[in-house]
Structure 1
Amino acid sequence: MSRALIIGSSGGIGKALKEELESTGCDVVGLSRTENGLDIADETSIISVTTGLKGTFDTILVATGSLSPRDQGPEKTYKVLDAETAALQFAVNSIGPMVILKHTAHLLPRDSKAVFAVLSARVGSIGDNHLGGWYSYRASKAALNQFIRTASIELARTHKRSICVALHPGTVATEFTRNYTTHTSVSSSVSSKNLLNVIDGLTPRETGQFLDWAGNPIPW
């Protein structure tokens, strides 16, 4: 990929993606709350930060997300579900990435491979949910997956070689997961290489899919 836009470029995975792409000679533009004041849950902020972007991007990758807003931790039972906290999860994890697509789709090339990818999570799989818990995070990622599946159909009408996918990065050792990792994790650097390898190998046949870090389909 010759030019990429990374949303969430100051986070653990986003920063690693930006650095890995830059090491290959890719022209990378990074946007984040820390660096540019981008609030993924505020459409006005998204418009303000993205309006000045010029040219086209072969890849737009949204690497934002919220696992535990307000430091309350993922819900283990519906008895502690808080409506406002759940709504915030959806604003950040589901709606935000789609608003990014709304305001950046015109930056994707129409006559060549164009990738719009978001970081989802395996726990957003309905078919693979055997443990329960984590209500808001699971549901917000499941909603994101449906958004991406639906958007892939519409985007293909105007961008014939487009690829719109949800990607599970695996369990990555970042501040994001520090308090919730219960099994083997990989570094942000390793995760970014895995994700970029998957993206490099994608074709329009894979648009609308939910894939893991190795490129394997995950049940919806």
Structure 2
Amino acid sequence: MSGQALVIGASGGIGGALVKALEERGLRVQTLSRSVDGFDITDQASVDRALGSLKGPYDLIIVATGALEIDGAEPEKTIRAISQQAMTDQLTLNAVGPALVLRHAADLLPKDTRGVFAVMSARVGSIGDNRLGGWISYRTAKAAVNQVVHTASIELARSHPHSICVAMHPGTVKTQFTEKYLGRHPATEPSEAAAHLLDVIDGLVPDDTGQFFDWAGKAVPW
């Protein structure tokens, strides 16, 4: 991997680890985040203003934004616990936000050489892998962003045949994002998760575009 990368959500646990890992691999990294740049992925004007001012192309674009809790609304244990506001907030941040960024993909990726656009999703967004129920709003938002990525990949391939657009599951990572929910589940440090993700990205080819991969490079069922 070489060239120039863009990491959106760079101030988060996974985002920050990805920035560090990319820089260690010799890439020039441009970052965007709410806390540092005032970048609001849920606001179209903010997204358009920030991405419209960038000077690409970027060989790699990673969207590492997202949240499991928004404004204190915890993942629901049952469908009876959903609220309109909580579900709307989840869809806005975890699905609409990445879609707003993907609107700019064709302008930011190289047209005649390999480029990768990766969106951090989650295995719980898999419909085929859902055997436990619960977490309805978060699951729905991640399932929605998977559809956004898959659809965008089809359109992007028409003008950028060497580009790869994928959803990725980073695994359970020890961050502020997940600390309340780790429990008995094994979790990895952000630096380890970043290394795994970049190894998978390194191995992607254009035929992989539109797919959903985990941190080990295995396909996740839709």
The runs of at least 4 aligned residues of structure 1 exceeding 6 Å deviation read none
Partner of 1:156: 157
Work out the CA distance in 2 between the residues paired with 1:149 and 1:42: 22
* In structure 2, distance between residues paired with 1:105 and 1:181: 37
The aligned counterpart of 2:204 is 202
The Cα RMSD (Å) is 0.8
C-alpha offsets along residues 59-103 of structure 1, whole Å, 9 cap, x if unaligned?
Answer: 110000011111121000111111011111001101110110112
Look up the match of 2:180. 179
Q: Quote the offset at 1:47 in angstroms.
A: 1.3
- TM-score, L = length of structure 2: 0.97
Q: Deviations over 1:16-65 (max 9, x none)?
A: 00011011110000100011001111111111222210131001100000
SS at match of 1:110: coil
Deviation at 1:145? 0.5
Aligned sequence identity (%)? 53
Residue 2 of structure 1 deviates from its aligned partner by 1.2
Give the paired residue count: 220
- Give ranges in structure 2 of 5+ residues lacking alignment: none
Aligned partner letter, 2:101: I
State the partner residue of 1:215.
217
* Distance in 1 between residues matched to 2:106 and 2:8, nearest whole Å: 13
Instruction: Identify the residue that residue 51 of structure 2 maps to in structure 1.
Output: 50
> How far apart, CA to CA, are the structure 2 residues paired with 1:48 and 1:204?
29
SS, match of residue 179 in structure 1: helix
Q: Could you say what secondary structure the match of 1:92 adopts? A: helix
1:110-161 CA-to-partner distances (Å, cap 9, x unmatched) read: 1111111100000000000000000000000001111111111000000011
Q: Conserved in 1, the CA contact under 8 Å of 2:106 and 2:160?
A: no
